[in-house]
Structure 1
Amino acid sequence: MAPEHERIPARRRSELHGHGLRLRRWDAGADSDVAVWLRGRSDPEFRRWNTPLATVTDLDGARASLRKQAENEADGNCAHFCVTDADSGTPLGHIGLNMIDRVTRAARVGYWVLPEARGHRVATRALTLVSRWTFTELELHRLELGHAVGHDASCRIARKCGFPYEGTLRGAMFDTGRYDAFRDVHLHARIATDPDPYEG
Protein backbone atom coordinates (compact mmCIF):
# COMPACT_ATOMS: atom_id res chain seq x y z
CA MET A 1 0.00 0.00 0.00
CA ALA A 2 1.32 3.44 -0.93
CA PRO A 3 2.06 5.98 1.81
CA GLU A 4 -0.93 8.20 2.58
CA HIS A 5 0.56 11.23 0.84
CA GLU A 6 0.94 9.26 -2.41
CA ARG A 7 -2.65 7.99 -2.56
CA ILE A 8 -5.45 9.72 -4.38
CA PRO A 9 -7.67 11.22 -1.65
CA ALA A 10 -11.16 9.73 -1.42
CA ARG A 11 -12.77 13.05 -2.25
CA ARG A 12 -10.83 13.02 -5.51
CA ARG A 13 -11.98 9.54 -6.50
CA SER A 14 -15.58 10.54 -7.07
CA GLU A 15 -17.48 10.00 -10.29
CA LEU A 16 -16.95 12.40 -13.14
CA HIS A 17 -19.90 13.88 -14.99
CA GLY A 18 -20.17 15.96 -18.13
CA HIS A 19 -20.54 15.95 -21.91
CA GLY A 20 -23.33 13.37 -21.66
CA LEU A 21 -21.10 10.91 -19.80
CA ARG A 22 -20.77 9.46 -16.34
CA LEU A 23 -17.35 8.06 -15.46
CA ARG A 24 -17.45 5.63 -12.54
CA ARG A 25 -15.15 3.07 -10.97
CA TRP A 26 -15.04 -0.46 -12.34
CA ASP A 27 -16.44 -3.13 -10.02
CA ALA A 28 -14.70 -6.52 -10.16
CA GLY A 29 -17.56 -7.96 -8.11
CA ALA A 30 -20.20 -7.04 -10.69
CA ASP A 31 -20.76 -9.66 -13.39
CA SER A 32 -21.92 -6.96 -15.80
CA ASP A 33 -18.67 -5.00 -15.43
CA VAL A 34 -16.60 -8.16 -15.84
CA ALA A 35 -18.46 -9.00 -19.07
CA VAL A 36 -17.91 -5.49 -20.46
CA TRP A 37 -14.22 -5.62 -19.56
CA LEU A 38 -13.88 -8.94 -21.37
CA ARG A 39 -15.61 -7.60 -24.48
CA GLY A 40 -13.47 -4.50 -24.57
CA ARG A 41 -10.15 -6.22 -24.01
CA SER A 42 -10.83 -9.05 -26.44
CA ASP A 43 -12.18 -6.80 -29.21
CA PRO A 44 -10.12 -7.19 -32.44
CA GLU A 45 -9.71 -3.43 -32.82
CA PHE A 46 -8.37 -3.14 -29.26
CA ARG A 47 -5.95 -5.98 -29.91
CA ARG A 48 -4.86 -4.41 -33.20
CA TRP A 49 -3.47 -1.38 -31.40
CA ASN A 50 -2.64 -2.78 -27.93
CA THR A 51 -0.65 -5.76 -26.70
CA PRO A 52 -1.16 -5.87 -22.92
CA LEU A 53 1.18 -7.95 -20.78
CA ALA A 54 -1.74 -10.08 -19.62
CA THR A 55 -4.31 -10.99 -22.26
CA VAL A 56 -7.95 -11.40 -21.22
CA THR A 57 -9.71 -14.31 -22.93
CA ASP A 58 -12.47 -15.38 -20.51
CA LEU A 59 -14.60 -14.13 -17.62
CA ASP A 60 -12.26 -15.46 -14.95
CA GLY A 61 -9.36 -13.66 -16.56
CA ALA A 62 -11.38 -10.48 -16.89
CA ARG A 63 -12.32 -10.54 -13.20
CA ALA A 64 -8.71 -11.17 -12.20
CA SER A 65 -7.62 -8.28 -14.42
CA LEU A 66 -10.10 -5.89 -12.80
CA ARG A 67 -9.05 -7.02 -9.32
CA LYS A 68 -5.40 -6.42 -10.15
CA GLN A 69 -6.32 -2.99 -11.46
CA ALA A 70 -8.09 -2.20 -8.17
CA GLU A 71 -4.96 -3.24 -6.24
CA ASN A 72 -2.84 -0.89 -8.32
CA GLU A 73 -5.33 1.91 -7.69
CA ALA A 74 -5.05 1.31 -3.94
CA ASP A 75 -1.29 1.73 -4.32
CA GLY A 76 -1.82 5.11 -5.97
CA ASN A 77 -0.28 4.01 -9.28
CA CYS A 78 -3.35 4.48 -11.45
CA ALA A 79 -6.98 5.60 -11.62
CA HIS A 80 -9.46 3.92 -13.94
CA PHE A 81 -13.03 4.65 -15.00
CA CYS A 82 -15.81 2.80 -16.75
CA VAL A 83 -17.21 5.27 -19.27
CA THR A 84 -21.01 5.16 -19.32
CA ASP A 85 -23.88 7.08 -20.88
CA ALA A 86 -25.07 9.69 -18.39
CA ASP A 87 -28.78 8.97 -18.92
CA SER A 88 -28.99 5.22 -19.40
CA GLY A 89 -25.87 4.08 -17.55
CA THR A 90 -24.93 1.91 -20.53
CA PRO A 91 -21.17 1.14 -20.54
CA LEU A 92 -19.39 2.67 -23.52
CA GLY A 93 -15.72 2.05 -22.82
CA HIS A 94 -12.80 2.70 -20.53
CA ILE A 95 -10.39 5.51 -19.69
CA GLY A 96 -7.63 5.50 -17.13
CA LEU A 97 -4.50 7.08 -15.80
CA ASN A 98 -1.38 4.93 -15.47
CA MET A 99 2.17 5.49 -14.24
CA ILE A 100 1.06 8.24 -11.86
CA ASP A 101 4.21 9.89 -10.50
CA ARG A 102 3.50 12.15 -7.53
CA VAL A 103 7.07 13.48 -7.53
CA THR A 104 7.18 14.77 -11.11
CA ARG A 105 3.37 15.22 -11.07
CA ALA A 106 2.95 13.31 -14.32
CA ALA A 107 0.83 10.43 -15.60
CA ARG A 108 -0.17 8.64 -18.78
CA VAL A 109 -3.71 8.33 -20.09
CA GLY A 110 -5.23 5.54 -22.18
CA TYR A 111 -8.70 4.63 -23.38
CA TRP A 112 -10.79 2.26 -25.47
CA VAL A 113 -14.38 2.34 -26.72
CA LEU A 114 -16.74 -0.58 -27.30
CA PRO A 115 -17.56 -1.28 -30.98
CA GLU A 116 -21.19 -0.17 -30.75
CA ALA A 117 -20.19 3.16 -29.16
CA ARG A 118 -17.63 4.21 -31.76
CA GLY A 119 -18.33 7.21 -33.93
CA HIS A 120 -20.05 9.17 -31.14
CA ARG A 121 -17.04 11.10 -29.76
CA VAL A 122 -17.00 8.95 -26.61
CA ALA A 123 -13.21 8.95 -26.29
CA THR A 124 -13.00 12.69 -26.98
CA ARG A 125 -15.60 13.50 -24.33
CA ALA A 126 -14.10 11.12 -21.77
CA LEU A 127 -10.58 12.43 -22.35
CA THR A 128 -11.81 15.98 -21.86
CA LEU A 129 -13.33 15.06 -18.48
CA VAL A 130 -10.33 13.11 -17.24
CA SER A 131 -7.86 15.76 -18.36
CA ARG A 132 -9.64 18.45 -16.34
CA TRP A 133 -9.85 16.14 -13.32
CA THR A 134 -6.15 15.33 -13.60
CA PHE A 135 -5.07 18.95 -13.57
CA THR A 136 -7.58 20.37 -11.10
CA GLU A 137 -8.28 17.60 -8.59
CA LEU A 138 -5.10 15.51 -8.74
CA GLU A 139 -3.01 18.64 -9.29
CA LEU A 140 -0.72 16.89 -11.75
CA HIS A 141 1.37 18.97 -14.13
CA ARG A 142 1.84 16.75 -17.19
CA LEU A 143 -0.44 14.20 -18.84
CA GLU A 144 0.98 12.05 -21.64
CA LEU A 145 -0.88 10.11 -24.32
CA GLY A 146 0.88 7.56 -26.50
CA HIS A 147 -0.52 5.53 -29.40
CA ALA A 148 0.90 3.20 -32.00
CA VAL A 149 2.04 4.92 -35.17
CA GLY A 150 -0.73 4.51 -37.72
CA HIS A 151 -3.58 4.78 -35.23
CA ASP A 152 -4.95 7.88 -36.91
CA ALA A 153 -8.21 7.98 -34.93
CA SER A 154 -6.33 8.19 -31.64
CA CYS A 155 -4.09 10.88 -33.10
CA ARG A 156 -7.12 12.99 -34.03
CA ILE A 157 -8.65 12.56 -30.57
CA ALA A 158 -5.41 13.65 -28.91
CA ARG A 159 -5.10 16.81 -30.99
CA LYS A 160 -8.78 17.68 -30.56
CA CYS A 161 -8.39 17.46 -26.79
CA GLY A 162 -5.37 19.74 -26.68
CA PHE A 163 -2.59 17.12 -26.70
CA PRO A 164 -0.10 18.28 -29.36
CA TYR A 165 2.23 15.79 -31.01
CA GLU A 166 5.64 15.90 -29.33
CA GLY A 167 7.58 13.24 -31.19
CA THR A 168 8.01 9.57 -32.07
CA LEU A 169 9.27 7.04 -29.54
CA ARG A 170 11.10 4.34 -31.46
CA GLY A 171 10.23 0.75 -30.60
CA ALA A 172 8.32 1.84 -27.51
CA MET A 173 5.53 -0.73 -27.50
CA PHE A 174 4.96 -4.35 -28.45
CA ASP A 175 3.83 -5.08 -31.98
CA THR A 176 0.35 -6.52 -32.51
CA GLY A 177 0.00 -9.78 -30.60
CA ARG A 178 3.75 -10.21 -30.15
CA TYR A 179 6.23 -9.89 -27.32
CA ASP A 180 9.34 -10.34 -29.46
CA ALA A 181 8.82 -7.38 -31.82
CA PHE A 182 8.23 -3.69 -31.30
CA ARG A 183 6.66 -0.70 -33.02
CA ASP A 184 6.93 3.05 -32.79
CA VAL A 185 4.68 5.28 -30.71
CA HIS A 186 3.49 8.82 -31.28
CA LEU A 187 3.76 10.83 -28.07
CA HIS A 188 1.26 13.59 -27.30
CA ALA A 189 1.02 15.54 -24.06
CA ARG A 190 -0.72 18.35 -22.22
CA ILE A 191 0.55 20.31 -19.28
CA ALA A 192 -1.54 22.09 -16.69
CA THR A 193 -0.85 25.54 -18.13
CA ASP A 194 -2.00 24.64 -21.66
CA PRO A 195 -5.33 26.13 -22.74
CA ASP A 196 -8.36 23.87 -22.47
CA PRO A 197 -9.75 23.52 -26.02
CA TYR A 198 -13.25 22.94 -24.64
CA GLU A 199 -13.29 25.62 -21.96
CA GLY A 200 -16.22 27.95 -22.20
Structure 2
Amino acid sequence: MAPLSLIPPVVPAGRLAAMEQPVLGLESGWELRPWRLDDADALLAAAQDPAIRHWNRLVVDSPEEARQRIERMHGRWRDELSAIWAIARPGGAAAGLIGWGDIDLAGGGAEVFYWLLPEARGGGVAVEATERVSRWAFDELGLHRLRLTHSVANTASCRVAERARYSFEGTMRSALLHADGWHDEHLHALVRGDL
Protein backbone atom coordinates (compact mmCIF):
# COMPACT_ATOMS: atom_id res chain seq x y z
CA MET A 1 0.00 0.00 0.00
CA ALA A 2 1.39 3.40 -1.01
CA PRO A 3 1.99 5.87 1.80
CA LEU A 4 -0.48 8.72 2.13
CA SER A 5 0.78 12.14 1.13
CA LEU A 6 1.67 14.48 3.95
CA ILE A 7 0.22 17.32 1.88
CA PRO A 8 -3.55 17.15 1.35
CA PRO A 9 -4.96 18.13 -2.05
CA VAL A 10 -5.85 21.80 -2.41
CA VAL A 11 -9.13 20.77 -4.04
CA PRO A 12 -10.46 17.24 -3.45
CA ALA A 13 -10.81 15.03 -6.52
CA GLY A 14 -14.40 14.91 -7.69
CA ARG A 15 -15.28 18.47 -6.76
CA LEU A 16 -15.33 19.83 -10.32
CA ALA A 17 -17.07 16.76 -11.75
CA ALA A 18 -19.79 17.07 -9.11
CA MET A 19 -20.59 20.67 -10.12
CA GLU A 20 -23.00 21.65 -12.84
CA GLN A 21 -21.24 24.13 -15.11
CA PRO A 22 -22.70 27.53 -14.22
CA VAL A 23 -23.67 30.45 -16.40
CA LEU A 24 -21.59 33.43 -15.27
CA GLY A 25 -22.95 36.89 -16.02
CA LEU A 26 -20.71 39.83 -16.90
CA GLU A 27 -21.52 43.44 -16.06
CA SER A 28 -21.15 44.38 -19.74
CA GLY A 29 -24.18 42.23 -20.58
CA TRP A 30 -22.19 39.31 -21.99
CA GLU A 31 -22.36 35.92 -20.31
CA LEU A 32 -20.15 32.88 -19.97
CA ARG A 33 -22.14 29.71 -20.57
CA PRO A 34 -21.46 26.09 -21.43
CA TRP A 35 -20.83 25.40 -25.11
CA ARG A 36 -23.80 23.94 -26.99
CA LEU A 37 -23.76 21.77 -30.08
CA ASP A 38 -25.47 24.58 -31.99
CA ASP A 39 -22.32 26.70 -31.35
CA ALA A 40 -20.42 24.54 -33.85
CA ASP A 41 -20.50 27.26 -36.53
CA ALA A 42 -18.85 29.74 -34.14
CA LEU A 43 -16.10 27.25 -33.33
CA LEU A 44 -15.55 26.59 -37.03
CA ALA A 45 -15.42 30.36 -37.72
CA ALA A 46 -12.84 30.79 -34.96
CA ALA A 47 -10.65 28.12 -36.52
CA GLN A 48 -10.71 30.11 -39.78
CA ASP A 49 -10.04 33.53 -38.19
CA PRO A 50 -6.46 34.65 -38.95
CA ALA A 51 -5.85 36.25 -35.53
CA ILE A 52 -7.16 33.24 -33.62
CA ARG A 53 -5.20 30.85 -35.84
CA HIS A 54 -2.03 32.88 -35.32
CA TRP A 55 -2.06 32.76 -31.51
CA ASN A 56 -3.96 29.52 -30.83
CA ARG A 57 -3.50 26.01 -32.08
CA LEU A 58 -7.19 25.62 -32.88
CA VAL A 59 -7.78 23.27 -35.80
CA VAL A 60 -11.40 22.54 -36.72
CA ASP A 61 -12.17 21.66 -40.33
CA SER A 62 -15.89 20.85 -40.36
CA PRO A 63 -19.12 21.40 -38.43
CA GLU A 64 -19.01 17.73 -37.35
CA GLU A 65 -15.49 18.14 -36.00
CA ALA A 66 -16.64 21.29 -34.15
CA ARG A 67 -19.52 19.36 -32.54
CA GLN A 68 -17.10 16.62 -31.49
CA ARG A 69 -14.82 19.21 -29.86
CA ILE A 70 -17.80 20.67 -27.99
CA GLU A 71 -18.72 17.21 -26.72
CA ARG A 72 -15.09 16.75 -25.60
CA MET A 73 -15.31 20.05 -23.68
CA HIS A 74 -18.15 18.59 -21.62
CA GLY A 75 -16.25 15.34 -21.12
CA ARG A 76 -13.14 17.20 -19.98
CA TRP A 77 -15.25 18.96 -17.32
CA ARG A 78 -16.47 15.58 -16.04
CA ASP A 79 -12.88 14.25 -16.14
CA GLU A 80 -11.71 17.37 -14.23
CA LEU A 81 -9.19 18.33 -16.92
CA SER A 82 -10.65 21.64 -18.09
CA ALA A 83 -13.54 24.05 -17.64
CA ILE A 84 -14.48 25.90 -20.83
CA TRP A 85 -17.21 28.49 -21.41
CA ALA A 86 -18.63 30.17 -24.49
CA ILE A 87 -18.62 33.97 -24.38
CA ALA A 88 -21.99 35.09 -25.73
CA ARG A 89 -24.77 37.61 -25.50
CA PRO A 90 -27.71 36.14 -23.53
CA GLY A 91 -29.63 33.93 -25.94
CA GLY A 92 -27.04 34.51 -28.65
CA ALA A 93 -24.42 32.49 -30.44
CA ALA A 94 -20.92 32.04 -29.07
CA ALA A 95 -18.56 34.92 -29.92
CA GLY A 96 -15.59 33.69 -27.93
CA LEU A 97 -14.17 31.09 -25.62
CA ILE A 98 -12.60 31.24 -22.18
CA GLY A 99 -11.64 28.52 -19.82
CA TRP A 100 -9.23 26.67 -17.61
CA GLY A 101 -6.87 24.06 -18.97
CA ASP A 102 -4.18 22.05 -17.29
CA ILE A 103 -6.31 21.88 -14.15
CA ASP A 104 -4.40 20.41 -11.22
CA LEU A 105 -6.88 20.05 -8.36
CA ALA A 106 -4.37 18.48 -5.97
CA GLY A 107 -1.83 21.23 -6.63
CA GLY A 108 -4.45 23.97 -6.76
CA GLY A 109 -3.60 25.46 -10.16
CA ALA A 110 -4.82 25.95 -13.71
CA GLU A 111 -4.06 27.99 -16.84
CA VAL A 112 -6.56 30.36 -18.44
CA PHE A 113 -6.95 30.58 -22.21
CA TYR A 114 -9.31 32.58 -24.39
CA TRP A 115 -10.08 33.92 -27.84
CA LEU A 116 -12.70 36.26 -29.29
CA LEU A 117 -14.30 36.47 -32.70
CA PRO A 118 -14.06 39.94 -34.33
CA GLU A 119 -17.53 41.06 -33.18
CA ALA A 120 -16.52 40.69 -29.51
CA ARG A 121 -13.08 42.32 -29.70
CA GLY A 122 -12.07 45.74 -28.48
CA GLY A 123 -14.65 46.31 -25.74
CA GLY A 124 -12.86 44.83 -22.74
CA VAL A 125 -14.77 41.52 -22.87
CA ALA A 126 -11.59 39.42 -22.60
CA VAL A 127 -10.51 41.28 -19.47
CA GLU A 128 -13.94 41.07 -17.84
CA ALA A 129 -14.29 37.38 -18.71
CA THR A 130 -10.79 36.63 -17.36
CA GLU A 131 -11.60 38.40 -14.10
CA ARG A 132 -14.91 36.53 -13.79
CA VAL A 133 -13.53 33.04 -14.39
CA SER A 134 -10.65 33.85 -12.02
CA ARG A 135 -13.08 34.70 -9.22
CA TRP A 136 -14.99 31.50 -9.99
CA ALA A 137 -11.78 29.42 -9.90
CA PHE A 138 -10.86 30.82 -6.48
CA ASP A 139 -14.26 31.16 -4.83
CA GLU A 140 -16.23 28.24 -6.27
CA LEU A 141 -13.64 25.66 -7.29
CA GLY A 142 -11.08 26.50 -4.59
CA LEU A 143 -7.89 26.81 -6.64
CA HIS A 144 -4.88 28.69 -5.26
CA ARG A 145 -2.75 29.82 -8.25
CA LEU A 146 -3.86 30.74 -11.76
CA ARG A 147 -1.58 31.19 -14.78
CA LEU A 148 -1.91 33.15 -18.01
CA THR A 149 0.73 32.64 -20.70
CA HIS A 150 1.05 34.17 -24.15
CA SER A 151 3.60 34.73 -26.88
CA VAL A 152 5.75 37.79 -26.15
CA ALA A 153 4.62 39.05 -29.57
CA ASN A 154 0.94 38.93 -28.55
CA THR A 155 0.64 42.40 -27.03
CA ALA A 156 -3.16 42.21 -26.83
CA SER A 157 -2.98 39.21 -24.48
CA CYS A 158 -0.33 40.97 -22.42
CA ARG A 159 -2.74 43.90 -21.94
CA VAL A 160 -5.52 41.47 -20.93
CA ALA A 161 -3.23 39.91 -18.32
CA GLU A 162 -2.22 43.29 -16.90
CA ARG A 163 -5.78 44.67 -16.80
CA ALA A 164 -7.07 41.46 -15.19
CA ARG A 165 -4.41 41.99 -12.46
CA TYR A 166 -2.24 39.00 -13.33
CA SER A 167 1.32 39.76 -12.16
CA PHE A 168 4.10 39.41 -14.71
CA GLU A 169 6.51 36.74 -13.48
CA GLY A 170 8.95 36.34 -16.35
CA THR A 171 9.66 35.08 -19.83
CA MET A 172 9.76 31.41 -20.70
CA ARG A 173 12.23 30.98 -23.54
CA SER A 174 11.20 29.05 -26.65
CA ALA A 175 8.13 27.77 -24.80
CA LEU A 176 5.48 27.18 -27.46
CA LEU A 177 5.64 26.13 -31.09
CA HIS A 178 3.42 28.24 -33.34
CA ALA A 179 2.99 27.90 -37.10
CA ASP A 180 5.79 30.43 -37.62
CA GLY A 181 8.23 28.77 -35.21
CA TRP A 182 9.09 28.72 -31.52
CA HIS A 183 7.89 31.66 -29.43
CA ASP A 184 9.10 32.92 -26.10
CA GLU A 185 6.14 33.29 -23.74
CA HIS A 186 5.31 35.66 -20.94
CA LEU A 187 4.13 34.08 -17.70
CA HIS A 188 1.60 35.98 -15.61
CA ALA A 189 -0.05 34.65 -12.46
CA LEU A 190 -2.79 35.43 -9.97
CA VAL A 191 -2.73 33.93 -6.49
CA ARG A 192 -5.64 33.59 -4.07
CA GLY A 193 -5.84 36.88 -2.18
CA ASP A 194 -4.57 39.04 -5.08
CA LEU A 195 -8.06 40.16 -6.11
With the length of structure 1 as denominator, give the TM-score of the two structures.
0.85
Aligned residue number for residue 26 of structure 1: 35
Whole-angstrom CA distance in 1 between matches of 2:152 and 2:129: 22
Aligned residue number for residue 124 of structure 1: 127
Whole-angstrom CA distance in 1 between matches of 2:17 and 2:68: 25
Letter in 2 for 1:182: W
- 1:76 and 2:80 are equivalent in the alignment: yes
Instruction: Tell me by how many angstroms 1:38 deviates.
Output: 0.9
Aligned residue number for residue 185 of structure 1: 185
Aligned residue number for residue 63 of structure 1: 67
With the length of structure 2 as denominator, give the TM-score of the two structures.
0.87
Contact 2:15–2:141, Cα closer than 8 Å, also in 1 = no
Matched residue pairs, number? 183
Task: Give the match's secondary structure for 1:182.
Answer: strand
Aligned residue number for residue 157 of structure 1: 160
Aligned residue number for residue 8 of structure 1: 16
Q: How does 1:82-161 map to 2 (within 5 A)?
A: 82-86=86-90, 89-161=92-164
Identify unmatched segments of 5+ residues in structure 1.
Answer: none
Whole-angstrom CA distance in 2 between matches of 1:149 and 1:140: 26
Contact 2:23–2:34, Cα closer than 8 Å, also in 1 = yes
CA deviations over 1:49-99 (Å, ceiling 9, x no partner): 1224xx21221221122222222221011000001124x534321101001
Contact 1:22–1:89, Cα closer than 8 Å, also in 2 = no
**1:47 maps to which of 49, 53, 67:** 53
Aligned residue number for residue 8 of structure 2: none
Contact 2:17–2:78, Cα closer than 8 Å, also in 1 = no
Contact 1:107–1:144, Cα closer than 8 Å, also in 2 = yes
Letter in 2 for 1:117: A
Contact 1:128–1:161, Cα closer than 8 Å, also in 2 = yes
Task: Give the match's secondary structure for 1:124.
Answer: helix
Contact 1:149–1:184, Cα closer than 8 Å, also in 2 = yes
Contact 1:21–1:125, Cα closer than 8 Å, also in 2 = no
Contact 1:92–1:117, Cα closer than 8 Å, also in 2 = yes
